[in-house]
Amino acid sequence: MTQAQRTGSPSTPFDTLKAERLAMVYIDGAWVAPQGGTSHAVINPATEEPVARIALGTAADVDLAVAAARRAFPAFAGSSRADRIALLRRVADVFATRREEMARILTMEMGGPLKRTLGYQTAAGQTHLDEIVRVLETYRFEERRGRTVIRREPIGVCGLITPWNAPVMQILTKVAPALAAGCTMVLKPSELAPFSAMLFTEILHEAGVPKGVFNLVNGDGPTVGEALARHPDVDMISFTGSTRAGVRVAEAAAPTVKRVHQELGGKAANILLPDSDLEEAVVRGVQSCFGNSGQSCIAPARLLVPKDQANRAAAIAAAAAETLRVGDPMDPATDLGPLVSRAQFDRVQELIAAGIAEGATLVAGGLGRPDGLTRGYFARPTVFADVVPGMLIEREEIFGPVVTIIAYDSVEQAIAIANDTPYGLAAYVQSRDPSRAEAVAARLRCGYVYLNGAGPDYSAPFGGWKQSGNGREYGEWGLDAFLELKTVVGAAPG
């Protein structure tokens, strides 16, 4: 059996989507041929083989999609709360029937192990749909203060730009609240992982989203992404991706003074306080960092441990890394799949080499593929000890399965190291005393802190400080992002 057969690569990515639609964009409720442009081969990262080619849209396609969204906006903005709740419930119902298909497509296009794409990525997407319905049922779009009325109204046409590392979940954190708000939109997914977005478009179509409300244009950032950001008829850009790309989006959007909502990179610290259960905390931290092969903006890549526990922590981390199974992402037993692309693999290799050159101690993993894997963008689960602040691997967002262990002398120093980064997305604190962990969390300059292995709360605001972005997603804060405030003074008495 070939590696392609083992990873379940089909001749086309969908059972139900006609192959010719891969060469189309979705505008005004229909799949249509793009206005010129080129095609792009989507590579299965587990096999390095092309799966299919998609059409890359152009600025002309963006113009058509934005015009469709602009035409659809007045009617959809005026739809009732009940109508939008009913629509979102239909979307959730259809999504549920196609979750397994979606999970397999995600595994094929971005390499996430099937147990993760089914058990986490698509499950989280379903949760976001359910949560936005719950929020919409009681959300206050209007508030009266005497004869002043404060209204929250849909901001307008939204450009949504989503990444490859958690495609459908990131799409839903934008599309679901935009629909709930009454906005219309144009989505540009990553060209590295576009099939899940195309399947999601089918889901929206089947659920009966009115034509023009949702539009899809595949393409790259410099062409379609910048055309969306610059477009004068786009009222808001919601972007998730790297900080570097986020800066370009903000620059492109600046002349039209549109709202720019960004969730960008991170370099999360994981502070193990002296009283923490060292083995439990280290193993949990390593496993959390290596989830999605380290390709996560919230990955706890910097493990901060008391100096007198550093050697033991390194041994525990190395053992934890070596127990993880890397390989065929379609295999239910696989823990780590491949990195998404050759470029991502090469970058991770360069940073591992830099860590070795800088004098950090390699205690697990290292350069190259794991033993037994001769192709695919698989990286070895890697742990560095004796890392000191200022090393490249301590500063740069690696976006791969690499943990760096940093020893600290005092809790004050640990907090200072955690905060000494241009990023401010997430952090982690471990302690047997929850109140002590919470006290440390209060001093961390970031938007989201996980204490003692707690999982995410999709009803609470998610987002970053500093160069990790602005604005918040999830729950009512995600809905807030797609609404504009209007104050009416001198209104009739309520």
Q: What distance separates the 2 farthest-apart alpha carbons in the chain?
A: 76
Distance of CA 59 to the CA centre of its chain: 25
User: Per-residue pLDDT averaged across 389-412, rounded?
Assistant: 98
240 confidence band (pLDDT: 50, 70, 90): very high
Q: How many CB atoms lie within 10 A of CB 80?
A: 9
The predicted structure's pLDDT at residue 178: 98
Paired residues of 240 in beta bridges: 263
The whole-number pLDDT of residue 18 equals: 63
Q: What is the pLDDT of residue 14?
A: 54
Q: How far apart are CA 184 and CA 76, in angstroms?
A: 7
Neighbours of 308 (CB within 10 A): 10
Structure tokens at 367: 């350069």
Provide the pLDDT confidence category of residue 430 given band limits of 50, 70 and 90.
Answer: very high
HSE toward the beta carbon, residue 47, CA cutoff 13 A = 19
Give residue for tokens 């980064």. 421
The whole-angstrom separation of Cα 102 and Cα 435 is 41
Q: Which residues contact 5 (CB under 8 A, 6 or more apart)?
A: none
- In this structure, the strands spanning 269-272 and 157-161 are unpaired
Handedness of CA 51, 53, 58, 62 (dihedral sign): negative
Mean pLDDT of the chain: 95
Of 48, 113, 103, the residue nearest 345 (C-alpha): 48
Of 4, 473, 28, nearest to 211 (Cα)?
Answer: 28
Rg (CA), the chain: 23
Which amino acid is located at 413 in the chain? Answer: Q
Beta carbons of 400 and 351 less than 8 angstroms apart: yes
Overall average pLDDT of the 52-80 stretch: 97
Asked whether 260 and 226 are in contact (CB, 8 A), the reply is no
In the structure, how many helices (H) and strands (E) does the chain have? 17, 22
Q: What pLDDT, on the 0 to 100 scale, is given for residue 436?
A: 98
- pLDDT score recorded for residue 19: 73
CA 46 – CA 119 distance, rounded (Å): 20
Q: Which DSSP state fits 192?
A: T
Average pLDDT for 119-145? 97
> How do residues 3-42 score in pLDDT, each as one tens digit?
333 334 444 555 545 677 899 999 999 999 999 889 999 9
Contact 51, 45 (CB under 8 A): no
Extract the tokens encoding 146. 């005497």
* Selection from 323, 325, 316 nearest residue 283 by Cα: 316
Question: Average pLDDT in the 154-168 region?
Answer: 97
* Percentage of residues of the chain with pLDDT beyond 70: 96
- Tens of pLDDT along 319-366? 999 999 999 999 999 999 999 999 999 999 999 999 999 999 999 999
Q: pLDDT tens digits for 369-385?
A: 999 999 999 999 999 99
Q: What domains does the chain contain, in order, with CATH numbers?
A: 7-264+468-487 (3.40.605.10), 269-458 (3.40.309.10)
C-alpha 266: how far from its chain's center? 12
| Complete edge-to-edge strand list for the sheet that includes strand 214-216 | 30-32, 25-27, 214-216, 184-188, 157-161, 236-240, 259-263, 469-470
pLDDT score at 307: 98
C-alpha to C-alpha distance for 164 and 194, rounded to whole angstroms: 8
**Given the structure tokens 């526990």, which residue do they identify?**
309
Q: Which residues pair with 451 in a beta bridge?
A: 429
How many other C-beta atoms are found inside a 10 Å radius of the C-beta of residue 42? 21
Q: What is the pLDDT of residues 251-287, one digit of tens each?
A: 999 999 999 999 999 999 999 999 999 999 999 999 9
Nearest one of 368, 405, 359 to 384, comparing CA atoms = 405
Contact 128, 169 (CB under 8 A): yes
Listed in sequence order, the residues at least 6 apart from 121 whose beta carbon sits closer than 8 Å to its beta carbon are 103, 106, 112, 166, 167, 168, 169
CB atoms within 10 A of CB 428: 31
- Report the first-to-last Cα separation within the chain, whole angstroms: 73
| pTM score above 0.75 | yes
Q: Residue 310: how many CB atoms within 10 A of its CB? A: 19
CB 190 within 8 A of CB 162: yes
Distance CA 142, CA 70 (A): 24
Q: Locate 274 and state its tokens.
A: 């002296």
Q: Which residues are catalytic?
A: 263, 297
Q: What is the pLDDT of residue 17?
A: 55
pLDDT digit string, tens, across residues 177-226: 999 999 999 999 999 999 999 999 999 999 999 999 999 999 999 999 99
DSSP assigned state of 119: I
Q: Is the dihedral of CA 416, 418, 423, 424 positive or negative?
A: negative
CA dist 193 and 37 (Å) reads 18
Are 461 and 131 spatial neighbours (Cβ–Cβ below 8 Å)? no
pLDDT above 90: residue 128: yes
Tokens found for residue 492: 């009739």
Burial class of 265 by CB neighbour count within 10 A (0 to 12, 13 to 18, 19+): buried
Task: Work out whether the CA dihedral 443, 446, 448, 452 comes out positive or negative.
Answer: negative
494 pLDDT above the threshold of 90: no
